[in-house]
Amino acid sequence: MSKVTKAVFDYLTMAGTATATDFKPLTQDERNSQYLKSLINPVLYFKGALSGAIDLSNDKPHEWEQGASGYAKRTGNILAQYGIQRTVTFGLSSLLHEDNRYFGSGKKGFWRRTGYAVAGSFLARHDNGKLFPSVSLLGGFAAAAFVSRSWQPSSTRSMGDGAVSFGYSVGYNVLGGVAKEFLPDVVRPLMKRRKPHTP
C-alpha cells in the first residue's frame, strides 16, 4: 500500500482493506498511536486548506475579512474543529471501548453494501466485536460543532448554527461511509499490480 493510500485510509479511519470478519480489538497503545497519527495526517491539512479556500471564496462567515488573514482564520477554524472532534472521540472511545474504524462488509451487491455503509456510519464495535451506536463519534461531532461557536463571529455563533454544523458532520460521515465501503475495490487491483512478480 502506497504512503498516499495509507494516509487516505488513516484519515478516513479505515481498517485498510479488511472486512468485518478480520476484526480484532484495539489495545490502548494502538488507540494512542492512531489518535496521534490522525493529528499529523497530511490529508487533514490538505482538506483544511481546500475548505478554507472555499469558505473564503464564499465569504463565509462575512465578518472574517478577505485576503491572507481571512483565509488563515477560516482554515484555522476548520482545523481546530477537526482537532476537537478527534480528541473527544478518542477520549470517549478509549473510555467506552468503542472502535470507530470502518471494516468492509464483505457483502455482494451495491444496495446491500450501501445499506451496511450507511448503518455503519452511526455504529462502533466494542471489544467483543458487536456493533452499538457510537457515542464517541457522535459526541466528537457535537463537541466540535458547539465548542467552535465560542470563537465564531455573531452571524454563525448561535446554537442553531451549531446544530447545522453537527448535521453537516453527520451527513458527510454517511457519505464517507459509502466511500469507505467501495474504496478498497479500487485499491486492491492497484496493490496487486505493485506486487513484484516471482517466477
Q: What are the tens digits of pLDDT across the range 43-57?
A: 899 999 999 999 999
pLDDT tens-digit map of 58-101:
999 999 999 999 999 999 999 999 999 999 999 999 999 999 99
Tell me: pLDDT of 113 over 80.
yes
Inside any domain, residue 32: yes
**CA–CA separation, 81 and 146 (whole Å):** 9
How far is Cα of residue 93 from the mean position of the Cα atoms in its chain?
Answer: 14
Inside any domain, residue 199: no
Inside any domain, residue 177: yes
Inside any domain, residue 198: no
Supply the pTM of this predicted model: 0.86
- DSSP count for the chain of H helices, then E strands: 7, 4
Report residue 19's pLDDT band, with 50, 70 and 90 as the boundaries.
confident
**CA–CA separation, 186 and 199 (whole Å):** 26
Average pLDDT in the chain: 89
**CA–CA separation, 92 and 89 (whole Å):** 5
Q: Which domain holds residue 188?
A: 3-193
